[in-house]
């Protein structure tokens, strides 16, 4: 072949270098655009060679993401992206593996892989776009849709309780759990950078608005005014405060979280909840905020890094075990494998 080998242009890559030639075909106003943009924005600065990024996705609107990134990508089958990604990571731990999935893909058809991949702790970054609806099939309720949701398959309202993905991931022993939203690009970039830097399965739930089939699902958390009362931006070592003037706080008293104005004499200063990313017990409680109510008022929704504590990754332990066995047992050559231990000769 007379072709010359392709060589990377010298110099730093730009976000454009991560945009593929394929026309992006999401609906106007879809939250997916923002996520694509933030990923392409941070990628040049991650210190990873372009050829080492791999995107694996399942099925759904979100999963088309793979086609729009100019990186290696495999658009798989419904619910199985994590399993394919785990195979890629075991085969080549040097790759930076990103899984793109939605609430239906991850939590419904792919629920089994979701809990087990998280439990096994492969070093992959999982971005789950949660729009609380099945969009690609044109509007049916999903496992994160609120109870009573009226959709094409539930014209009289759904009768089941939703999952909170954060709570589910923590229940599966996740070591990195974060939540962000399509409408806050800077927050999303910060969370994505942390997810990338974390060694182990990083689970990021991204609230993503579907303007066609579930428009406004996250309005409370994206509206400039409403969100101040409705969200807590978590920061490690900082108190859980929210409100128009950051005047409200979460206190932790007698093992229960309580909403109260800062300085409320019912609570001591020490009761104010200080966020600790490495506290799994409190992380589990944060995962329950989405369904907690105090005197008729829902708890504010936590955003940011809910839990992060590194541990050994599956692939690191897999290869360490191979090395450990090799240190006491020599590699068998093929002739030894073929002959086994007991042979006999026939003349």
Partner 1 sequence: MATGPGIKSEWIEAENIVVRFSGDSGDGMQLTGMQFSDTTAFLGNDLSTFPDYPSEIRAPSGTVAGVSAFQVHFGSSAVFTPGDRWDVLVAMNAAAFKADFPRLKRGGIVIANAAGFDRKGLSLANFPEGANPLEDGTLDGYTLYQVDFNKHTADSLKGIPLQPKEVARSKNMLVLGLLFWMFDKSMEFTVAAIRDKFLDKPDIAEANIQALKSGWNLGENMEIFTTRYVVRPASLPPGTYRNVHGNQAIAIGLMAAAEKSGLGLFLGSYPITPATDILQELSRYKSNGVLTFQAEDEIAAVCAAIGAAYAGKLATTTTSGPGLSLKTEAIGLATILEIPLVIIDVQRGGPSTGLPTKTEQADLMMAFYGRHGEAPLVVLAAKSPNDCFRMAFEACRIAIEHMTPVILLSDGYIANGAEPWRFPKADELPAIRVQFLDRTNGPDNTLLPYLRDEQGVRPWIIPGTPGLEHRIGGLEKEDKTGNVSYDPQNHEKMVRLRMQKIQNVERDIPLAELDSGTTEDGLLVVSWGSTYGAVKTAIRMLRNDGLGVAHLHVSYLNPFPANLGDILGPFQKILVPEMNSGQLVSILRSRYLVPAKAFSKVQGQPFTTEELCNAISEHYNAK
Contact 101, 157 (CB under 8 A): no
Confirm or reject binding of residue 7 to partner 1 (CB under 8 A): yes
Contact 272, 249 (CB under 8 A): yes
Beta strands at 72-75 and 248-253: parallel, antiparallel or unpaired: unpaired
Confirm or reject binding of residue 86 to partner 1 (CB under 8 A): yes
Contact 75, 93 (CB under 8 A): no
Point out which span in 53-61, 146-154, 185-193, 250-258 binds partner 1 (CB under 8 A). 53-61
Written as one string, the DSSP assignment of 17-55 is GGB-SSPP-PPTT-THHHHHHHHHHHGGGS---GGGEEE
Confirm or reject binding of residue 34 to partner 1 (CB under 8 A): no
Structure tokens at 202: 């990083």
Confirm or reject binding of residue 94 to partner 1 (CB under 8 A): yes
Distance of CA 242 to the CA centre of its chain: 24
Beta strands at 124-130 and 202-207: parallel, antiparallel or unpaired: parallel
Point out which span in 163-171, 197-205, 305-313, 319-327 binds partner 1 (CB under 8 A). 319-327
Binding to partner 1 in span 299-318, by CB under 8 A: 318
Using CA atoms, how far apart are residues 245 and 261, in angstroms rounded to an integer?
A: 11
Give the nearer residue to partner 1 in terms of CB position, either 150 or 325: 325
Point out which span in 39-47, 75-83, 249-257, 258-266 binds partner 1 (CB under 8 A). 75-83
Q: Give, in order, the Cα–Cα distances in Å from 6 to each of 3, 9, 19, 72, 156.
A: 9, 9, 18, 16, 58
Confirm or reject binding of residue 52 to partner 1 (CB under 8 A): yes
Of 10, 159, 245, 337, which lies in the binding site for partner 1, with binding defined by CB under 8 A?
337
Q: Which residue has the tokens 């909840």?
A: 273
Point out which span in 62-70, 196-204, 218-226, 295-303 binds partner 1 (CB under 8 A). 62-70
Point out which span in 112-120, 141-149, 263-271, 288-296 binds partner 1 (CB under 8 A). 112-120
Point out which span in 5-13, 39-47, 149-157, 163-171 binds partner 1 (CB under 8 A). 5-13
Contact 104, 134 (CB under 8 A): yes
Contact 82, 126 (CB under 8 A): yes
Using CA atoms, how far apart are residues 148 and 329, in angstroms rounded to an integer?
A: 61
Least distance in angstroms from the C-beta of 169 to partner 1: 16
Confirm or reject binding of residue 29 to partner 1 (CB under 8 A): no
Give the nearer residue to partner 1 in terms of CB position, either 89 or 227: 89
Least distance in angstroms from the C-beta of 9 to partner 1: 10
Of 95, 168, 172, 241, which lies in the binding site for partner 1, with binding defined by CB under 8 A?
95
Confirm or reject binding of residue 339 to partner 1 (CB under 8 A): yes
Quick one: 305 exposed, middle or buried, by C-beta within 10 A (0-12, 13-18, 19+)? buried
Q: Which residue has the tokens 């409705």?
A: 230
Q: Which residues pair with 341 in a beta bridge?
A: none
Beta strands at 53-57 and 96-102: parallel, antiparallel or unpaired: parallel
Of 41, 70, 154, 252, which lies in the binding site for partner 1, with binding defined by CB under 8 A?
70
Least distance in angstroms from the C-beta of 306 to partner 1: 24
Of 30, 36, 39, 56, which lies in the binding site for partner 1, with binding defined by CB under 8 A?
56
Confirm or reject binding of residue 294 to partner 1 (CB under 8 A): no
Confirm or reject binding of residue 334 to partner 1 (CB under 8 A): yes
Which residues here bind partner 1, judged by CB under 8 A? 1, 3-8, 20, 22, 49-56, 59, 66-67, 69-77, 80, 83-92, 94-95, 112-113, 116, 318, 321-322, 325-326, 329-335, 337-340, 342-347
């Amino acid at each position: 072949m007379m072709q010359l080998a392709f060589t990377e242009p010298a110099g730093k890559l730009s976000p454009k270098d991560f945009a593929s030639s394929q026309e992006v075909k999401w609906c106007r106003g879809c939250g997916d655009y923002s996520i694509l943009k933030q990923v392409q924005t941070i990628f040049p600065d991650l210190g990873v060679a372009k050829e080492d990024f791999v995107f694996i996705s399942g099925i759904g609107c979100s999963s088309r993401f793979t086609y729009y990134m100019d990186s290696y990508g495999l658009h798989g089958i419904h619910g199985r992206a994590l399993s394919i990604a785990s195979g890629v990571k075991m085969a080549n731990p040097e790759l930076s593996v990103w899984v793109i999935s939605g609430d239906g893909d991850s939590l419904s058809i792919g629920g089994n892989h979701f809990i087990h991949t998280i439990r096994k702790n492969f070093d992959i970054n999982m971005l789950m776009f949660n729009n609380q609806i099945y969009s690609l099939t044109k509007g049916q309720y999903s496992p994160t849709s609120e109870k009573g949701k009226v959709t094409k398959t539930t014209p009289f309202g759904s009768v089941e309780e939703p999952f909170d993905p954060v709570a589910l991931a923590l229940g599966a022993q996740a070591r990195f759990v974060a939540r962000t939203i399509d409408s806050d690009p800077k927050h999303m970039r910060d969370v994505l950078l942390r997810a990338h830097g974390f060694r182990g399965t990083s689970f990021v739930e991204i609230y993503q608005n579907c303007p066609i089939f579930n428009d406004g699902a996250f309005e409370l958390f994206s509206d400039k005014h409403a969100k101040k009362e409705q969200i807590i931006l978590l920061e490690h070592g900082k108190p859980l405060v929210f409100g128009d003037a950051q005047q409200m706080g979460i206190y932790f008293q007698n093992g229960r979280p309580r909403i109260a104005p800062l300085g409320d004499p019912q609570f001591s200063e020490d009761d104010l909840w200080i966020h600790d990313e490495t506290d799994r017990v409190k992380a589990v409680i944060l995962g329950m905020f989405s369904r907690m109510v105090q005197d008729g008022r829902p708890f504010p929704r936590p955003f940011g890094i809910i839990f992060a504590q590194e541990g050994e990754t599956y692939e690191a332990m897999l290869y360490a075990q191979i090395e450990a066995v090799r240190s006491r047992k020599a590699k068998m050559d093929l002739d030894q494998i073929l002959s086994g231990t007991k042979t006999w000769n026939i003349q």
